[in-house]
Structure 1
Amino acid sequence: MQLPRIQIQQTPMLLGLNIQKPVQEMEQPKAELNLRQEPAVLEIRQPQGTLSIDSSRARYNIGLRTSMEFSDANAEHGVQSWLEAIAQSGSEGDRLAAIEQGGNAIADIAFERGLESNPPDIPVSGSDEGVDISYQAGKVEINIERRGMRMDPILRPPILQYTPGKVEGYVRQWNKVNIEVVGLHVNQTL
């Protein structure tokens, strides 16, 4: 025999969520550096050099002398001529003193004096012209002034945009309870 029974069916409630994610946008504008290189200052100075030309040896070689050199040369020549004249006078005096020994000393001395002649001074020239040239350059002075770099940066802050997220709940399936009685049909035949 079947007894009636109660059959219960349940359907649970199902919830759903609509999720809208948050959005964060970041943008960083570029900074401006504004770099400027200041030009350096370069100064180069060189004092005038010294050029020396000494032609005194060349002038002396061709007979051109300064007044001091000319005076010194004449004094030396005078002393030399005076010494030679003393020597010659002494020699001639000795020869005249020895006239009693024979010979013709006066005629000999006159003949020798007639042959004396001073040859002209001819300057001797060689490969050296006698001009001394010297040059001393002035020292180069270099001054550098560095001016460096200038920087005027313009900083820009980041741009932030934030959209918050949303969560919305909804019912996907409502809950249900079904209650049934099963087995109400009773078999009367026994």
Structure 2
Amino acid sequence: MQLAKIQMQSTMAQIGFTTRKPELDIQQPQTELNIRQEAAVLEIKQDPGVLSIDSSRAREVMGLRTPLQFSDENFQFAKQQLMSAIGQISEEGDSMRAIEHKGNAIATLAIDKIGIVPTPLSAPSSPDEGVDISFQARPVEITVQRRGMKMEPVRKAPVFSYKAGDVNLYMQKYQQLRIEVVGLHVNQSL
């Protein structure tokens, strides 16, 4: 005896999916440093030097005198002339007093008084001789003022951009269940 059989066939459902990856973009803008070098200040100071030209010896050699030297020399000359005159007057008095010596004392004195001797002037040996020149330089003062560097950085934050990912699900294959009765000449599908 033949029994009927039930035969079942099933296929599993299959799910398909497509994905789109997320996108993360990070950009870091460069920081601006803004470096500025301040110029240094340099000061150079020097007082003017002292130039001394002393020509008093040269003037003396040439016979040119200052009023003080001139009056001093005149005083010395007058003193010498006075002493000489006193001595001469004394001698003249002595010669006139000596009557015992025969001779004409007054005539002799008159001959001596005819000429006057001028004071001699010294001739210069060289016009530049005796000029003393001296120069005294003043010290140089140098000051340097460093002003340094100024930096003003501008920091920039990173820039983020994000696109979320996506998953699309779909049925690639639906499930199926197939039942068949086999045997007894029954061949019908349900």
Letter in 1 for 2:49: G
**C-alpha displacement at 1:44, in angstroms?**
0.9
What corresponds to 1:148 in structure 2?
A: 148
Tell me, in whole angstroms, the C-alpha distance in 2 between the residues paired with 1:120 and 1:73.
12
**C-alpha displacement at 1:102, in angstroms?**
4.5
What corresponds to 1:94 in structure 2?
A: 94
Gaps of 5+ in 1: 1-25, 161-190
Percent of residue pairs identical: 51
In the alignment, does 2:58 pair up with 1:58? yes
Tell me, in whole angstroms, the C-alpha distance in 2 between the residues paired with 1:82 and 1:29.
110
Report SS of the residue matched to 2:150: strand
Report SS of the residue matched to 1:91: helix
- The alignment's C-alpha RMSD in Å is 3.6
For normalisation by structure 2, the TM-score amounts to 0.54
Report SS of the residue matched to 1:93: helix
What corresponds to 2:130 in structure 1?
A: 130
**C-alpha displacement at 1:99, in angstroms?**
4.4
Report SS of the residue matched to 1:95: helix
What corresponds to 2:77 in structure 1?
A: 77
**C-alpha displacement at 1:28, in angstroms?**
7.5
- Say if 1:56 and 1:77 are closer, same or farther in 2 by CA, change over 3 A: same
Tell me, in whole angstroms, the C-alpha distance in 1 between the residues paired with 2:94 and 2:138.
68
Tell me, in whole angstroms, the C-alpha distance in 1 between the residues paired with 2:75 and 2:145.
64
**C-alpha displacement at 1:103, in angstroms?**
5.5
Tell me, in whole angstroms, the C-alpha distance in 2 between the residues paired with 1:54 and 1:121.
22
Tell me, in whole angstroms, the C-alpha distance in 2 between the residues paired with 1:90 and 1:111.
17
For normalisation by structure 1, the TM-score amounts to 0.54
Tell me, in whole angstroms, the C-alpha distance in 2 between the residues paired with 1:142 and 1:100.
93
Query: How many residues end up aligned between the 2 structures?
Result: 139
